[in-house]
Amino acid sequence: MSLQLQGIARTVGGSIHLHPVDALLEPGLHVLLGPTGAGKTSLMRLMAGLDAPSAGRILQDGQDVTGVPVRQRSVAFVYQQFINYPSLSVFENIASPLRLKGQERGAIERRVREVASLLHIDHLLDRLPAELSGGQQQRTAIARALAKDARLLLLDEPLVNLDYKLREELRTELRALFERRGAVVIYSTTEPIEALTMGGSVLVMHEGRVLQAGPTAQVYHHPASEAVAEVFSDPPMNLVNVEVTGGTARFPQGLELPLTGHLGMLEDGAYRFGIRALHLALRPKPGLPFLPARVELADISGSETFVHVHAEGLDWVVQEEGVHEHGLGEPVTVYLDPTRLYAFGPDGRVRAAPARGRGG
């Protein structure tokens, strides 16, 4: 089945939750990526039919389902909280949507066991949700959604309440599960990394709008605007105002960069250049242009160090491999790879993007 959104919007009491959205969603995985409050949940609720859109139409396989109540649609929903029936066993929880559809006993039994084994909870079928760990509870909720075999499966930040390890594990499993299904799967997340690992296609959302949609890797490498680049980078893309005259970009720190390659055809004028944290370096790299800056904060996360640096006109984050100690206020030299620079115009639209094929 396919899901088509025609200008659906939602306004609640004068405040706009969602600006008109147009999209055609084919079977497969679609990631909704955006910060908290971007309208991901609002959009998913409209898709499910839990809320009615203030404007626009929703079509399933070309049929208008805008006014059809949720219980008559083929929808399954997984929430960020672990939602299971508290007084029913795991088995009964997974079976509940099947029972309500009036399926026969043997078929239910088979289906529940099949889905439970996919999610590795087949040994927990007799337990009550409260007797499970968080990860197992969410597995149960996902199993309940999968058991239904709905044509539209919505997962609203399903892994956000799980710890890091479990999240990685489930993410990989889920991706494999979704690949085998003929349903439209919508998966929302605030994390760019999650969107990238899940693959499929992505809809980048910000402040109630869908900013860009397309295959995930393509959107990541070719963000259409500064806003998309910021949302789809973690840490957010580093930006700086530059002045381009006669094929040279003037950075605030007195750095003058002759423009070549993909930046070569930029016309004279004011731009904002963007570069991801991972294409900046603090260790000398021969031949690369550099800027002086001071360390504001060094944040060690796992086996990487995120160094927040400040200089007049820029506040950047540099991603370094390995664990590095940096003193506050320590002067550093930031090296940047000009082949990884994005150029955005004053309107925020992208003017030049690096060619693909050399990693993120």
- Residues interacting with other proteins, by CB under 8 A? 48, 50, 70-71, 75-77, 79, 81, 83, 85-88, 96-97, 100-101, 127-131, 144, 148
Helix, strand, coil tally for the chain in percent (to 5): 30, 35, 35
The residue among 71 and 180 lying less far from other proteins, judged by its C-beta, is: 71
The residue among 88 and 288 lying less far from other proteins, judged by its C-beta, is: 88
The residue among 102 and 246 lying less far from other proteins, judged by its C-beta, is: 102
Alpha-carbon span 274 to 342, nearest angstrom: 5
Provide, rounded to whole angstroms, the least separation between the CB of residue 76 and other proteins. Answer: 7
The residue among 47 and 204 lying less far from other proteins, judged by its C-beta, is: 47
Instruction: Scan for tokens 């927990």, then name that residue.
Output: 124
Provide, rounded to whole angstroms, the least separation between the CB of residue 145 and other proteins. Answer: 9
- The one-character DSSP state at 357 is S
Contact 31, 203 (CB under 8 A): yes
Provide, rounded to whole angstroms, the least separation between the CB of residue 133 and other proteins. Answer: 14
Provide, rounded to whole angstroms, the least separation between the CB of residue 104 and other proteins. Answer: 17
- Cis status, amide bond into 235, omega within 30 of 0: yes
Q: What is the DSSP string of 129-179?
A: GGGS-HHHHHHHHHHHHHHTT-SEEEEESTTTTS-HHHHHHHHHHHHHHHH
The residue among 49 and 338 lying less far from other proteins, judged by its C-beta, is: 49
Provide, rounded to whole angstroms, the least separation between the CB of residue 237 and other proteins. Answer: 33
Provide, rounded to whole angstroms, the least separation between the CB of residue 69 and other proteins. Answer: 8
Cα 262 to the chain's mean position, in Å?
A: 27
How many residues does this entry show for the chain? 360
Residue 187: how many CA atoms within 13 Å on its side-chain side?
A: 29
The residue among 102 and 322 lying less far from other proteins, judged by its C-beta, is: 102
The residue among 14 and 286 lying less far from other proteins, judged by its C-beta, is: 14
Alpha-carbon span 250 to 195, nearest angstrom: 34
Both tokens of residue 24?
A: 């055609």
Alpha-carbon span 198 to 339, nearest angstrom: 27
The residue among 87 and 248 lying less far from other proteins, judged by its C-beta, is: 87
Alpha-carbon span 187 to 357, nearest angstrom: 26
Q: Which of 199, 198, 235 is nearest to 217 (CA)?
A: 199
Q: Which residues of 125-159 are buried (b: 16+ CB within 10 A; e: fewer)?
A: bebbbeebeebbbbbbbbbbbbbbbbbbbbbbbbb
Provide, rounded to whole angstroms, the least separation between the CB of residue 44 and other proteins. Answer: 11
Provide, rounded to whole angstroms, the least separation between the CB of residue 154 and other proteins. Answer: 9
